């Protein structure tokens, strides 16, 4: 399915305008009416905008499970040889482990150079639960109660669904991926007997792609509403108190996004990083405004195939797996947060 050429601005510029306009309007309301406005005209506007943004995110998430199932199934069936799948899977997991390790390394270097915890207002820190939840989560998963080996083994075992229907119903992406890989491998092995099933799933894949195109049409407006509602609530006092910490995290993410990953793209993929950023710009800006790699997955898959020219058989297998297990930003953030709180 090819991307339609529309008149006027490209999608990424429309999304960027929506983000900037949302930030400006949100800050203006925040400063003139006050943070946390819930009554009057702007209270109604904020409520409508929050619902509008939530509907957009729900629409994207609605497509995740059927899209992951259909795209991975068709990618594996089209690969044909199971040995090719094994090589692709091994390289994918190895690459994800490498990028996660490099993200943690970038976070540790930046936090030790910047020292954001020095001179921080402890009352401001205590008022923001978001900064204290991550270390608690990390400590609860440490070696005090269970070894890292047991945690890894548990994760691998829990990937196997006891009930595939329940995995689909609850949106357990890892279990959906495992079942889909299992089903696709054996569909390839039985050959022509699975042709009817393959046709149905291929049709589902095409329907999901059409759904993505429809949802992308409202993305700039939905993102504008989402960003506006967020910045209406933001208080500059708390942001100023933790400004150095925020800068530290953003600097680490910037290093990973514009130095580490582009180098890996150029070295291993032999692809122009600037060209890739341009191709993925709608997905990148959607990810920034929704703060959800899972919600952005449908758009990322579409951009990678249609704008970057990556083989859909590869992207449809690699991306759903990456959106589930390859959390570089989270790994970097947690490494900074642990040192910051300590």
HEC secondary structure over the chain: CCCCCCCCCCHHHHHHHHHHHHHHHHHHHHHHCCCCCCCHHHHHHHHHHHHHHHHHHHHHHHHHHHHHHHHHHHHHHHHCCHHHHHHHHHHHHHHHHHHHHHHHHHHHHHHHHHCCCCCCCHHHHHHCCHHHHHHHHHHHCCCCCCCHHHHHHHHHHHCCCCCHHHHHHHCCHHHHHHHHHHHHHHHHHHHHHHHHHHHHHHHHHHHHHHHHHHHHHHHHHHHHHHHHHHHHHCCHHHHHHCHHHHHHHHHHHHHHHHHHHHHHHHHHHCCCHHHHHHHHHHHHHHHHHHCCHHHHHHHHHHHHHHCCCCCHHHHHHHHHHHHHHCCHHHHHHHHHHHHHHC
pLDDT tens for 314-331 read 888 888 888 777 888 888
Grade residue 142 by pLDDT with cuts at 50, 70 and 90: very low
- Mind listing the domains of the chain with CATH numbers? 11-341 (1.10.3860.10)
pLDDT for the residue 126: 54
Grade residue 225 by pLDDT with cuts at 50, 70 and 90: very high
> Is the pLDDT score of 137 beyond 50?
no
Grade residue 140 by pLDDT with cuts at 50, 70 and 90: very low
> Is the pLDDT score of 65 beyond 80?
yes
pLDDT for the residue 161: 92
pLDDT for the residue 162: 92
pLDDT for the residue 135: 43
d(CA 92, CA 319): 10
pLDDT for the residue 75: 83
The residue that leads in pLDDT, 38 or 125, is 38
pLDDT tens for 32-43 read 887 666 778 888
> Is the pLDDT score of 115 beyond 60?
yes
Grade residue 167 by pLDDT with cuts at 50, 70 and 90: very high
Pair of tokens at residue 297: 């997955």
């Amino acid at each position: 399915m090819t991307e339609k050429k529309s008149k006027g601005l490209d999608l990424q510029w429309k999304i960027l305008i929506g983000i900037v306009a949302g930030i400006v309007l949100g800050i203006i309301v925040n400063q003139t009416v006050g943070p946390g406005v819930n009554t009057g005209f702007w209270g109604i506007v904020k409520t409508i905008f929050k619902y509008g943004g939530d509907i957009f995110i729900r629409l994207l998430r609605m497509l995740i499970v059927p899209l992951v199932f259909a795209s991975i199934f068709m990618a594996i069936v089209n690969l044909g040889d199971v040995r090719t799948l094994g090589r692709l899977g091994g390289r994918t997991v190895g690459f994800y482990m490498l990028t996660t390790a490099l993200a943690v390394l970038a976070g540790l270097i930046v936090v030790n150079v910047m020292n954001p915890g020095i001179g921080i207002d402890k009352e401001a820190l205590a008022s923001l639960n978001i900064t204290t939840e991550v270390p608690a989560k990390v400590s609860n998963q440490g070696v005090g109660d269970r070894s890292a080996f047991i945690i890894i083994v548990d994760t691998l075992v829990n990937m196997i669904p006891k009930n595939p229907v329940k995995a689909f119903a609850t949106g357990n992406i890892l279990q959906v991926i495992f079942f889909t890989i299992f089903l696709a491998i054996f569909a390839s092995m039985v050959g022509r007997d699975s042709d009817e099933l393959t046709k149905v799933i291929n049709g589902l894949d095409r329907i999901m792609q059409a759904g993505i195109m429809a949802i992308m049409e409202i993305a700039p407006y939905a993102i504008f509403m989402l960003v506006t509602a967020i910045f209406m609530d933001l208080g500059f006092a708390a942001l100023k108190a933790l400004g150095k910490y925020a800068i530290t995290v953003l600097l680490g993410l910037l290093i990973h996004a514009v130095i580490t990953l582009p180098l890996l793209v150029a070295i291993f993929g032999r692809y122009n990083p600037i060209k890739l950023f341009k191709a993925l710009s709608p997905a990148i800006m959607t990810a920034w405004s929704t703060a959800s790699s899972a919600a952005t997955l449908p758009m990322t898959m579409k951009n990678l195939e249609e704008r970057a020219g990556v083989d859909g058989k590869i992207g449809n297998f690699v991306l759903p797996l990456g959106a589930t297990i390859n959390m570089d930003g989270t790994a970097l953030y947690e490494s900074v947060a642990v040192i910051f709180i300590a």
